[in-house]
Structure 1
């Protein structure tokens, strides 16, 4: 199947998951993950109505920016190095992966130079996996309190990456924990759910889904 057909099936699955949770599917945004996807394929998903695109690497993102329509909204979803912040500041809709203080300071500094307030999500490692970036749930309160003193950083919500498992039900507690944290700190957005587990994420409150393989097919990373 092509990208458009894949998208239609994904939307049907999102609608069903939203219905199970009593949610409005219109409030759930698909972010198409375009890592190692060629521009013609990306244009297919944009033509089908998905204009929010997520990239893991700054170089790949900036290389594609000039080749895609201006209505595209770019999301930085991968681990962000401080020395790469300058290349995306003012060019991305949202940084999903704020996970440490020196990165927050650099975002604040660069945003201040441009006179913008940069929207970010704080990455939380709800599963506790050592291989994943992100703050622990226990570190989050002090981190959010400190971020409040940075005038050019706007915290919009939280992000997490669940473990890859055969049974998506196993990751439900990690998504639920993120939702409860967002509620506790009155944060609006939850970026969680990928190809393997996005229906569970929808049921647990995700409003941003980072979807790659289910839209574009498997890629060799």
Structure 2
């Protein structure tokens, strides 16, 4: 059961998640050091994030750029980096370019152009992952699997964007095989991208609190964990 009590034993939960990642990796014949855990801080207030940083987390993931920018300011005294992992409108590219180290939801050439322009103006570079809609669900963002390689090829001219791999959200399903199919498809696309040197280190960001062990077994190099670390998110008040 996920502990939803604020600031209660974060380091203990972090240790438990890392042990589960290690076990899943070893069961698949992988080295656990090849998988990074990205804490997802959606709706978690900055005061609680200081506990995460004290426990050793140095890069935090945030879905919404406005929330990430606010927390970046509130925690500016800490040595941490921010990864924006949610859908981004082109008119918010400037906000991301101002502070984020990593962007995991690149899904169009138009957005790439906007980000590159803003990063060039700021004299910065950024690691980006292309988001792929492996489930085909209309509710999810991401480029279609069949268009992924074309987008990766089109990103080559953007010198401020370091394209380093792919990201996906698996199918919303209780059927583990349906979930694993999404992970395997992303891995296959990554491998094809590697053949053309399109994906840098070949990062695979896939797997969240409910399915990260299956993702690790299918090749994830980054798992995005929110609820299992910080507890169930509070519902907005009416």
2:215 is matched with 201
Please state how far the C-alpha of 1:142 moved relative to its aligned partner.
Answer: 1.3
> Which residue number corresponds to residue 189 of structure 2?
181
Shift of 1:167: 4.4
Q: How many residues align?
A: 221
Q: Structure 1: where are the runs of 5+ without partners?
A: none
Match of 2:16 in 1: 9
The TM-score with structure 2 as length reference comes to: 0.88
Which residue of structure 2 lines up, in the alignment, with residue 141 of structure 1?
Answer: 149
Q: In structure 2, list runs of 5 or more residues that go unmatched.
A: 4-8
Aligned to 2:145, the other structure's residue is in SS state: coil
Encode CA deviations 1:57-101: one digit per residue, 9 max, x unaligned.
111111111222432110000001111111121411210000112
The answer to whether the 8 Å contact 1:192/1:209 transfers is yes
Q: 2:78 aligns with which of 70, 75, 84?
A: 70
CA RMSD of aligned residues (A): 1.4
Query: Can you list the C-alpha shifts for 1:113-133, whole angstroms capped at 9, x where unaligned?
Result: 122332210000011111101
Residue in 2 aligned with 1:40? Answer: 47
| Counterparts of 1:140 and 1:41, CA distance in 2 | 37
Task: Give 1:1-150 correspondences, 5 Å limit.
Answer: 2-68=9-75, 69-150=77-158
Q: Aligned partners of 2:156 and 2:28: how far apart in 1? A: 32
Three-state SS of the structure 2 residue aligned to 1:6 is helix
8 Å CA contact 2:171, 2:182 repeated in 1:
no
Q: Distance in 2 between matches of 1:109 and 1:125?
A: 25
Aligned to 1:157: 165
